[in-house]
Amino acid sequence: MNTLHDEKFASAENIQQGFKDAKYICSKKIATTLYLSYHLEKPILVEGPAGVGKTDLAKTAATFLGVPLIRMQCYEGLDESKALYEWKYGKQLLYTQMLKDKLNDIVDGAGNLSESVQKLHKYNDIFFSRSFLAPRPLLNALQQKEGAVLLVDEVDKSDNEFEAFLMEILSEFQVSIPEIGTIRAETKPFVFLTSNNTRELSEALKRRCLHLFIPLPDPELEKEIIRIRVPDISEKLRIQLVSFIQQLRELDIKKVPSISETIDWARVLLLLHADKLSSDLVRETLHIILKFEEDIRVAEENLYNMTVRARREASH
């Protein structure tokens, strides 16, 4: 990739510490994968439930490296012209119209058609040069001199065709534009692909990537994350909160709360100046962590027991 950041990527521990400084707690597994990705120059395919910090991982990596983050959101129907580059057709047409008179000057004096064409050939393909090229995220990422973090978000939402197209870029870090030639990355970008598993990705794409599955965090990790992200929250409330969330995840609900919800909840509780969990408080704020009416109903049934248990755990 680039030798610029070798120091930062000297070991998995370094990465872990660096990310922690950037307020992202990553497990040993994540750090090791990042380490490998940097040294093997391979993209990382990040999978996991929604809200466990897949996108945040890329953002933090950009902060950590001090390079821009270029994000490309995938959706059905995304194609080359939106992802890679597009000619500025309007500009091209406008210029041809404006330069019409100029054109007369140039071909002036030419005896016949072939001579005029000869004359025109001296001017190369001006209308298909870089100044008429509108770079889109992928090309943009390749053109960054200092390198970049390229985040291809929710790649599973895109079509199969786009996925196939992505492979040239991911394995060679170059794109070919017929009119200009091949553009190679000056500094290879650090690539993250995220997927929510709405569909199975192709074998070929997977083969080109390192695979990283981020699960929902265990209590220790989650407490640590809350401590870093919401530092003002009291120790006691933090433990209660995490314990409650962990219990909630064991219930049979549609959408289990993930880290982002835990963080939101912690912030809300902080705003409400709460210092401990109580059944009423939880009931009032439950809609922040649960997104379905049925889920809230299920949770309310067990609410009292869970709150008591969370409080008991904190008092240990």
Query: Which positions lie near other proteins, rule CB under 8 A?
Result: 12, 28-29, 32-33, 35-36, 39-40, 42, 44-45, 47, 79, 81, 87, 89, 93, 96-97, 159-161, 200, 203, 206-213
| Residue closer to other proteins, measured from CB, 184 or 211 | 211
| Residue closer to other proteins, measured from CB, 92 or 285 | 92
Q: How far is CA 167 from the centre of its chain?
A: 17
Q: Are 208 and 42 in contact (CB under 8 A)?
A: yes
| Residue closer to other proteins, measured from CB, 177 or 296 | 177
**Distance between CA 107 and CA 122 in Å, rounded?**
11
139 closest CA partner among 179, 183, 180: 183
| Residue closer to other proteins, measured from CB, 38 or 64 | 38
**Distance between CA 256 and CA 246 in Å, rounded?**
10
The tokens 């890679």 sit on which residue? 84
Nearest distance from C-beta of residue 51 to other proteins, angstroms: 17
Amino acid (1-letter code) at residue 67: V
Nearest distance from C-beta of residue 315 to other proteins, angstroms: 34
Query: What's the 3-state SS for 167-196?
Result: HHHHHHCEEEECCCEEEECCCCCEEEEEEC
Nearest distance from C-beta of residue 131 to other proteins, angstroms: 17
274 closest CA partner among 233, 213, 226, 310: 233
Nearest distance from C-beta of residue 132 to other proteins, angstroms: 12
193 closest CA partner among 88, 294, 274, 72: 72
| Residue closer to other proteins, measured from CB, 136 or 238 | 136
**Distance between CA 108 and CA 101 in Å, rounded?**
10
| Residue closer to other proteins, measured from CB, 48 or 189 | 48
What does residue 87 show for φ and ψ, rounded to 5 degrees? -80, 145
Pairing type for strands 133-135 and 85-87 reads antiparallel
Nearest distance from C-beta of residue 283 to other proteins, angstroms: 33
| Residue closer to other proteins, measured from CB, 42 or 236 | 42
Q: Are 237 and 307 in contact (CB under 8 A)?
A: no
